Each structure stands twice: as C-alpha cells, then as structure tokens.
C-alpha cells in the first residue's frame, strides 16, 4: 500500500505500530509527532519514522491514515483538534486507547465532517517503554480490538486491517460498549484489586515490619500490575466509570459471600469456592496474549555464592536471549536460592530453559 501515515504519540505503542506498517508497506511514508522533541528525534534516528513534524496540522492534512497513540484523555483532545483541520476526505483515523466509549463519542466530531474514525485497542505491551523499545512484532498473535460504530462502512474496517496487517495481530470487531465491558472485567478491575491489596498490606506494614519482608515473594508477583502508570489508570477509571462501578458492586457482593462462608465456617462451600475457581482458571488459554501483558518467568535453583547472577546471565548472553527482569528470592548462606528471570515471550523462556540446561546442572521450573 502507498500513502502517508501520521502517528501522533511516539511511545512504545505508536512506535511499534509505525514499524509494523513500515515493514509491511515499504512504499508508504511514516510521519511522527510527539510533544517531546527528543522522542521525535529518536524515532527518526532509529528508523521508526521517516520524518517528523512540529505541528499536528503539518502531519495530518495530507495523511491517509492517522493513528492517535496517546493516553485516552489526550486522545480526546487530539480528536477535537483534528476535527478543526482540513483533512483529506478519505482519511482513516484510529486510536489505541484502553477505553473506547468516550473516545468514540468524541469521534462524532470527525464523523460530522465526513471523516471515518474506527476505535482500536492493540492488547499487547512490554515491560519496557518509549520509542526506543519499539518492536515491529510487538502485537504478533495479540488480540487487536476494533470498535467501529454501526454507521462505519465495512470496507473502511477492512482497509484499516490491511494497513495494520503487519502487526500479525488477531483482529476482533466489537462495539465500543462491549469493548469497555470486556476490558473492565479482565483488565481494569484486576488492576484496582491489585492496587487495593498493596494498600492493605502497606497499612498493616505500618504496625508490623515483617509484612514488607515477606511480601517480596509471591505477594509481589500477584500484585505486579499495581506498578502500572498511575496517570494512565486514573484516566482509564474515569473513562470506564459506568462499567467499573457495576463491576465493583458485584465484586463487593462476591467478597461479602466469602466473608459469610468464613464467618459461618461452611467448610464444604469454601472448598467448592476454591475448586470452581481452580477449574475455571486451569481452563483458561495458555501461551496466548491477552489484555494484561503476560510475565514469562523461569525459576532457577542456584547456589548462593558471589557472581551467580552474572554466571547465569552469561549463559543467556551467549545465546542472545534477552531478559526483562531478574531477582533472587529465598537465599540463605550455603543453601540453594531461587533465581527468577523474566522474559518477554514464551519462546524466549523456552530457549532460556534449554540454554541453562546445556551450560549447567541447575534445575529450572516454570512458575
């Protein structure tokens, strides 16, 4: 495909989309814009974009595809500004936000001018951020939700998929309302719960310092998503307010149910509660990208001696295997500890497991 693509927001998502389009449509021109000058310069230097502009007008007016790769609140502002510009009649405008209701509602400003807007949400991410972390295949095998309104022509949806085909994502077309319900259940509410667990632990830690020491293991793992961007989650909660208030009401009732089971010592019912949860959880798809970026952890039993981390990472370096995080837990003098290494993909974890087995006798396991 030929044409001009304008990417607003040169972070991880915007940069990765730019690369995927560039690789699959080498004859198109990718123009970038970001409020941070360093992001524009870095994006051009790394070849993520072909050129950058200083104003929205300079990038938007001749664009065939405009991608708004900013947080949701900024996306609304971008739509308002684009609606005031003389855009091409056949331009496609899309976004990448985690909520769709308010953004699609705002997009009606564009529709009033005959401009087609199709909401989008690539459900993939990384433990790294910024344009320098951009990867052309960041979205490979990830779900990419598109949320066109009923008035949007199906040919326009197909055209957008063609533009984005280099992502190698799995496209799903849903309504904006269904999108916000789905992401509320499997992403937004879990982030709230994780944050609340951290708050509760911190409150108890004020009177018992052992909480912080013991939380370094499993508790830290199950609350990882609480480390996400506070600004992003503030915006998401406010944008998905209606859905989340309903889900929180249901969550409160669920916790009251558990509370009652404990209070009345209903042993069989408590067992069934956890058994059903286990069964449902065990049936969830494995090795598949979802709304929350997966953590591919490898647990390595290692002796506690100086240099053990550099030794193991040296094995991985020989095979050019990248890691996203590494830490040691439960180490004591003269006994084995556990080295937890995180990878970005399941493939990298499998390669790492084989690599460590080839270079050492250390036992490994998948968490």
pLDDT in tens, 48-85: 999 999 999 999 999 999 999 999 999 999 999 999 99
Name the least confident of 124-138, 163-177, 353-367.
124-138
Alpha carbon distances (Å) from 285 to 140, 194, 289, 326: 16, 22, 9, 26
Cβ atoms of 147 and 118 within 8 Å: the answer is yes
Q: Which helix (H) or strand (E) holds 116?
A: strand 116-122
Tell me the C-alpha distance between 202 and 211, whole Å: 8
| The pLDDT of residue 218 is above 80 | no
Name the least confident of 32-46, 95-109, 335-349.
335-349
| Helix/strand/coil for 164 | coil
Confidence of residue 332 (pLDDT cuts 50, 70, 90): very low
Domain ranges in the chain are: 4-174, 179-282, 296-366
Name the least confident of 216-230, 312-326, 346-360.
216-230
DSSP state of 301: E
Report the pLDDT value the prediction gives residue 245, as an integer from 0 to 100. 98
| The pLDDT of residue 328 is above 90 | no
| The pLDDT of residue 351 is above 70 | yes
Compute the C-alpha angle 278/280/284, nearest 5°: 110
Residues 6+ positions from 252 with CB-CB distance below 8 Å: none
Tell me the C-alpha distance between 330 and 336, whole Å: 8
Mean model confidence pLDDT for the chain: 90
| The pLDDT of residue 143 is above 80 | yes
CATH of the structural domain 4-174, one choice from 3.40.50.720, 3.30.300.30, 3.30.465.10, 3.40.605.10? 3.40.50.720
- The reply to whether CATH 1.10.8.60 applies to domain 296-366 is no
Alpha carbon distances (Å) from 315 to 54, 80, 263, 337: 45, 52, 52, 18
Q: Which helix (H) or strand (E) holds 99?
A: none
Instruction: Give the HSE-up count for residue 154: Cα atoms under 13 Å, Cβ half-sphere.
Output: 1
For 179-282, CATH gives 1.10.3660.10
Tell me the C-alpha distance between 60 and 6, whole Å: 6
Name the least confident of 172-186, 202-216, 329-343, 346-360.
329-343
Q: What is the mean pLDDT of residues 302-306?
A: 75
In the structure, how many helices (H) and strands (E) does the chain have? 16, 12
Report the pLDDT value the prediction gives residue 331, as an integer from 0 to 100. 45
């Amino acid at each position: 495909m030929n044409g001009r693509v304008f990417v607003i927001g040169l972070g991880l998502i915007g940069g990765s989309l730019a690369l995927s389009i560039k690789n699959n449509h080498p004859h198109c021109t990718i123009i970038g814009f970001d409020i941070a000058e360093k992001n524009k310069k870095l994006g051009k230097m790394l070849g993520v974009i072909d050129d950058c502009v200083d104003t929205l007008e300079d990038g938007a007016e001749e664009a065939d595809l405009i991608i708004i790769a900013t947080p949701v609140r900024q996306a609304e502002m971008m739509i308002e500004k684009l609606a005031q510009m003389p855009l091409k009649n056949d331009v496609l405008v899309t976004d990448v936000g985690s909520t769709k209701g308010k953004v699609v509602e705002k997009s009606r400003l564009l529709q009033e001018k005959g401009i087609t807007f199709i909401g989008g949400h690539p459900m993939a991410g990384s433990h790294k951020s910024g344009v320098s972390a951009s990867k052309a295949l960041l979205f490979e095998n990830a779900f990419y939700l598109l949320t066109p309104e009923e008035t949007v022509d199906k040919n326009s949806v197909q055209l957008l998929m063609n533009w984005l085909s280099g992502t190698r994502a799995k496209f799903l077309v849903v309504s904006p309302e269904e999108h916000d319900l789905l992401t509320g259940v499997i992403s937004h509410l879990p982030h709230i719960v994780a944050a609340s667990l951290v708050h509760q632990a911190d409150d108890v830690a004020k009177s018992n310092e052992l909480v912080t020491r013991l939380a370094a293991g499993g508790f830290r793992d199950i609350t990882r998503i609480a480390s996400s961007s506070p600004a992003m989650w503030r915006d998401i909660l406010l944008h998905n307010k209606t859905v989340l208030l309903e889900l929180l009401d249901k969550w409160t009732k669920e916790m009251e149910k558990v509370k009652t089971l404990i209070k009345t010592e209903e042993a069989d019912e408590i067992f069934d509660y956890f058994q059903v949860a286990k069964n449902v959880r065990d049936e969830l798809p494995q090795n598949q990208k979802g709304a929350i970026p997966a953590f591919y952890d490898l647990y390595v039993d290692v002796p506690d001696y100086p240099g053990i981390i550099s030794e193991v990472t040296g094995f991985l370096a020989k095979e050019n295997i990248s890691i996203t995080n590494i830490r040691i837990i439960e180490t004591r003098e003269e006994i084995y500890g556990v080295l937890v290494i995180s990878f970005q993909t399941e493939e990298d974890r499998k390669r790492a497991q084989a690599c460590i087995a080839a270079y050492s006798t250390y036992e490994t396991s998948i968490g």
